[in-house]
């Protein structure tokens, strides 16, 4: 998850780097980010 979020930030999919928050995020927060990532790649 951390690597995916880092890549998404590096590729400007997300304007905020969420990777440092992985250790403390809930499953729901992680799922929301994954859904956002997939939606923005379509």
Kindly report the length of the chain: 42
The Cα–Cα gap between 39 and 24 comes to: 24
Q: Show the domain range for 22.
A: 2-41
- Residues 11-29 have pLDDT tens digits of 999 999 999 999 999 999 9
Number of structural domains in the chain = 1
pLDDT band (50, 70, 90) for residue 42:
confident
pLDDT at 4: 96
User: Could you please report the per-residue DSSP string of 1-42?
Assistant: -HHHHHHHHHTTS-SS--GGGTTT--HHHHHHHHHHHHHHH-
Classify each residue of 13-31 as buried b or exposed e, where b means 16 or more C-beta atoms within 10 Å of its C-beta. Answer: ebeeebbeebeeeeeeebe
């Amino acid at each position: 998850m951390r690597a995916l979020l880092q890549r998404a930030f590096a590729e400007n999919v997300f304007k905020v780097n969420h990777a440092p928050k992985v250790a403390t995020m809930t499953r729901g927060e992680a799922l929301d980010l994954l859904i956002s990532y997939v939606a923005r790649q379509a």
